[in-house]
Amino acid sequence: MSISPASQPAIVLSHQKDAHHRQELRTSFTDAAEKLLGPHVSIRLLPEMKMLAESFYFWLTLSSASGQTLGEEYCDVIQVGATRLPSMKSRLLLFAFGIIGPYVHKRIVSGGWEPLMSVFKPAQTAAERAAEIRTRMILRQQETNDPGKGKMLKSMVKTLLSWASIVARMHLALFYLRGDFYDISKRIAGIKSVFTKEITGPQPSYAILGWFLAFQIGIEGFNKLRHAVRKLHWGFPLPDEAEMIVPSESCEKEDASIMCGICLCPASSPSCPPCGHMFCYQHIVEAVVVKNECPLCRQAALPNTVIRVYSTL
């Protein structure tokens, strides 16, 4: 078998094909969870469903004789390590940094594991849920007025995660320039892609995209560094980093005429995404943060498109 490095278009196409198959698996896992557990529970388990689906796809393709994924087989590409096929250690590193790492990152960005833990708690009445929300609001206000070590730690984690996205884009720019490792997990595991067939003639390159992306990252990184230095020296938040206004207790009253589509109880602080379905404010915001769509009709929705409803006819 002739060994030659895989071209950038072949690597990108194989990843796109694998992403399509992983998406089909995620949809199947999510639909099964919705039928077994109900929509109000399955919506909180979306990151776990994604991790399970991608883990299943990873180990399913690993069990094949060649170790090729469906996308790599389509593009006549195969993964190689320091020798021929990647070792089990390299595979475990790829699994840890390519699947477990993004899952942990997603959970931290979306607010931690509290939505997952709430699945195992006994069902709450509307009054208990409203009291819990009120307590959380009070604690958040206390943290804002007296930021301790916990607040500083959260701020540091948020800053590191924002820089992590820039590092990922820098790695993508490096791939466009050099064409060796498409994602960071493969670079850590030392796994490259090569063709399984004879290649003749020059292969296309994405180097121009790499230079454009590097220029864009340089500008964004300079702005982030300038903001960090200003905040470090003067100690006040910048306008785009201001804290969200905490709703008053009057905003948490329940409207018995409006039922939440997630908890199926009278809506606490009735709110709706652009499609118009009604939910509790906390539940719909948590849902669209995890997956950018309405839990009922799956129309696209973002946290900043959720609208509070203060009166109905």
Are 101 and 164 in contact by the 8 Å Cβ rule? The answer is: no
Q: Which fold has domain 250-308?
A: Herpes Virus-1 (3.30.40)
Q: How far, in Å, CA of 304 to CA of 289, rounded?
A: 10
pLDDT value at residue 239: 47
Residues 6+ apart with CB under 8 A from 97: 184, 185, 188, 189
pLDDT value at residue 246: 42
Q: Convert the pLDDT of each residue in 187-202 to its tens digit.
A: 888 888 888 877 777 7
Cβ-based burial of 14 (10 A; exposed 0-12, middle 13-18, buried ≥19): buried
CA 157, 163, 166 angle in degrees (round to 5)?
150
Mean pLDDT of the chain: 77
Q: Convert the pLDDT of each residue in 80-129 to its tens digit.
A: 876 677 778 888 888 898 899 888 888 877 767 776 776 667 766 667 76
The domain segmentation of the chain, as residue ranges, is: 1-121+190-198, 123-182+206-246, 250-308
Q: Which two tokens stand for residue 137?
A: 């609001």
Confidence of residue 299 (pLDDT cuts 50, 70, 90): confident
Q: How far, in Å, CA of 232 to CA of 159, rounded?
A: 13
